[in-house]
Amino acid sequence: MLTKEKNLMPDVTGWSAAVGEIFDPFQSEQLQDPYPVYALARREEPVFYSEKMKMWYVTRYDDIVAITKQPKRFSSSGAIDVPLEQTERTRRGIAESWIAQGSLTNNDPPSHDVIRRLVSRAFSRREVAGLEEPVQRVIDELVDSFAADGHVELVQQFNFPATLRIILDHIGVDAEDPMQLRRWSDDWLAINHLPMTPDEQHATLDRLLECQEFWIDLIEQKRRAQAGDLLGEIIRASEEDSSRIPLLQLVNICMTLYVAGHTTTTDLLSLCVHRLMSDREQWQLVLDDENNIARAIEETLHVDSPVHALMRTTTEPVVVGGVHIAAGERIALLYASANHDEKYFAADRGFDLRHEYPKTHLTFGHGIHFCLGAPLARLVARLSVRTLARRLPGLRLSPEHRTAYVVNPIHRGLAELRLDWTPVGGR
């Protein structure tokens, strides 16, 4: 691995050291606002190494786009795995289970291309447009459950259950206990992204092996029933001679569709509503013209991305941003930093629905791994914000709200979002 001389960086919000020493996605101040460190890196050390995370970080827009265009040199296998200290039992259990299988985000051609073709139709713009009525029905049912209360904790009472039901309905999973699926989702994110004690690792792994059995049983049920839903179609297509996808890889596909379909959409919705509630002028733009809702969603994706980074692994020695990196090194593509790159975006821009951009954001990725679920995420977020605006008069942040972000080095979302409003007929 290449090492670099450490230069002293200018003081930024109280820090003065090499970027790799400063950078800590688990540190409370950076968890609350990572963007000053990202700006420092783009200016002084756009490609830096973090000893804490055991990875290189790439922060500028052009460098990240260039990497996404070279999948042979920068492998996406392990794209969602943060290098962590794990026990031998944990490593072996992961290697022998569905967790180690690649499907969409964490896979390379030609396997990636086969799987992407299997699921792409179900997330096309035309297909998603036909989901507006059932998605709106789920949203209305949940808002009905608290509209008369005058207050809500939006993340747990609306965002999670709405996105959970919508994606399960879409792929054709009628789960007796949807919240169990959510717990498995949290476990998968934890074992990939968070430091844990050996006991925590083993307990999490055991639960994820139970998750594996759930999906294997469901796949077999749908195979026998020749189910006509999305999951049934994927199962049938996976058995064709031209694709022939192994069972554990099929389990990974199921979990990827489910987790990607609700976790990041939940975070997008939380971040968007929080931004709007924190700036009454911007919220008024939405109330005055519902066409601004789509702009609010894109502004959130640009300014405060729910996906901050995904990883690559070098397959040969490379040079990125003038830095030599050896083969076999892990690289994090900091999309959230690229979305603020001063080369394309004004350095002092805040959240403003009136912004126009010369470049699109990278929140949904770029190149062959561009997120298939982007149209569905945008639809769910747009209909949700529209419904909240129409049905909850005087919607505002509650005095009890405290802004706290979920601890995760590649995802960004709110732990809670407390809102108040004036119920219809209330005082």
Q: Which residue has the higher pLDDT, 424 or 105?
A: 105
pLDDT for position 357 = 84
Range of the domain at 76: 19-420
pLDDT for position 119 = 85
Tens digit of pLDDT for each residue in 240-295? 756 678 899 999 999 998 888 889 999 999 999 999 999 999 999 999 999 999 99
Burial class of residue 87 in the structure, from the number of CB atoms within 10 Å of its CB (0-12 exposed, 13-18 middle, 19+ buried): middle
Nearest CA-CA partner of 214 in 257, 247, 262, 181: 181
Quick check: is 297 in a domain? Answer: yes
- Which parts of 194-241 fold into alpha helices (H)? 198-225, 230-238
Quick check: is 8 in a domain? Answer: no
Mean of per-residue pLDDT scores for the chain: 90
Residue type, position 48, single letter: F
Contact 166, 132 (CB under 8 A): no
State the pLDDT confidence band at 15, using cuts at 50, 70 and 90.
very low
Residue with tokens 């005082």: 427
State the pLDDT confidence band at 424, using cuts at 50, 70 and 90.
confident
Number of domains into which the chain is organized = 1
pLDDT for position 425 = 58
Give SS3 for 319.
strand
Between CA 138 and CA 131 the distance in angstroms is: 11
Helix (H) or strand (E) holding 135: helix 132-144
CATH code of 154's domain: 1.10.630.10
Reading the block at residue 234, the tokens are 């994927």
Nearest CA-CA partner of 391 in 140, 160, 156: 140
Between CA 135 and CA 162 the distance in angstroms is: 8
Quick check: is 3 in a domain? Answer: no
pLDDT for position 16 = 44
Quick check: is 221 in a domain? Answer: yes
Quick check: is 222 in a domain? Answer: yes
Quick check: is 42 in a domain? Answer: yes
Quick check: is 264 in a domain? Answer: yes
Quick check: is 5 in a domain? Answer: no
